């Protein structure tokens, strides 16, 4: 990690929950976040994090993936049920499918590979916090339903065959943007700008990773999708069934 990144103003007063068993790492990140104007509460495992979540009600959670074992996954789900806030997973280098698995199990919004530059963490945090604060209703029909897939925008509810499907904040924004442009090709660049932000234009793998996750949740046959179609080397297109 490097020194404090001066390109962004902090979200003054926002409370961040940092969960990591590496105390030296926690102290370094804690100091940097406090310098940026954040309030910070820390935990060394997921069980302690659940307690901190209830007591301090953070605006964002940063969690080391090595804590998300079988017990940790249950704790992550408990944290999600307690408070719907953005979550960033910190992960060691690995295959994309491993990262997808972790994101899915922890219901996370974003991830960073260790080691990372602190500027990157601050940027990701800022994007997620701004997205949460500035989220607003979109000018699209309030309900899409074709008998198999139902998306209720007013209630932020997605169902497949009448059963509730839980989407992360990022997955929902991606599905919403595709629905807004149903029948039209949406490029990688457009999706990155609209769903993640200008800062993510150099990360096309984000789109592919989250499209894979969405397909697993809403498609009858994810390997042969009917809704989210790939336009090779360009982007994706949402095809309605009604």
- What confidence category does residue 139 fall into, taking pLDDT thresholds of 50, 70 and 90? very low
| H or E stretch at 217 | helix 204-218
| CB-count burial class (<10 Å; 0-12, 13-18, 19+) for 171 | buried
End-to-end CA distance of the chain: 50
- Walk me through the domains of the chain, giving residue ranges and CATH numbers: 15-134 (3.40.50.2300), 143-238 (1.10.10.10)
Task: Name the percent of the chain lying above pLDDT 70.
Answer: 80
Do 74 and 88 form a contact (C-beta atoms < 8 A)? no
- Higher-confidence residue: 149 or 116? 149
- What confidence category does residue 8 fall into, taking pLDDT thresholds of 50, 70 and 90? very low
Average pLDDT (126-139) is 67
- Higher-confidence residue: 119 or 83? 119
pLDDT attached to residue 108:
79
Q: Which strands form 87-91's sheet, in the order they lie side by side?
A: 39-43, 15-19, 60-64, 87-91, 110-113
Which residues, other chains included, contact 65 with Cβ-Cβ below 8 Å and sequence gap of 6+? 89, 90, 91, 92, 102, 106, 111
Angle at the Cα of 71 (from 65 to 73), degrees rounded to 5? 50
């Amino acid at each position: 990690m490097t020194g404090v990144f001066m390109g962004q103003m902090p979200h003054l007063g926002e409370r961040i929950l940092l969960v990591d068993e590496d105390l030296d790492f926690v102290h370094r990140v804690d100091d940097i976040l406090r310098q940026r104007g954040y309030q910070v509460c820390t935990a060394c495992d997921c069980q302690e994090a659940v307690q901190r979540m209830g007591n301090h009600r953070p605006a964002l959670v940063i969690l080391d993936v090595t804590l998300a074992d079988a017990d940790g996954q249950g704790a992550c789900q408990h944290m999600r049920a307690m408070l719907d806030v953005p979550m960033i997973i910190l992960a060691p280098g690995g295959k994309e499918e491993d990262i997808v698995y972790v994101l899915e199990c922890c219901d996370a919004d974003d991830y960073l590979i260790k080691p990372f530059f602190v500027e990157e963490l601050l940027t990701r945090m800022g994007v997620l916090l701004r997205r949460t604060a500035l989220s607003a209703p979109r000018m699209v029909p309030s309900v899409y339903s074709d008998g198999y897939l139902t998306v209720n925008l007013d209630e932020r509810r997605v169902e497949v065959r009448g059963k509730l499907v839980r989407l992360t904040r990022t997955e929902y924004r991606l599905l919403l943007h595709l629905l807004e442009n149903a029948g039209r090709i949406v490029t990688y660049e457009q999706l990155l700008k609209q769903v993640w932000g200008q800062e993510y234009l150099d990360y096309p793998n984000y789109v592919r990773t989250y499209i894979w996750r969405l397909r697993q949740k809403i498609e009858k046959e994810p390997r042969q999708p009917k809704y989210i179609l790939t336009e090779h080397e360009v982007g994706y297109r949402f095809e309605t069934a009604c």
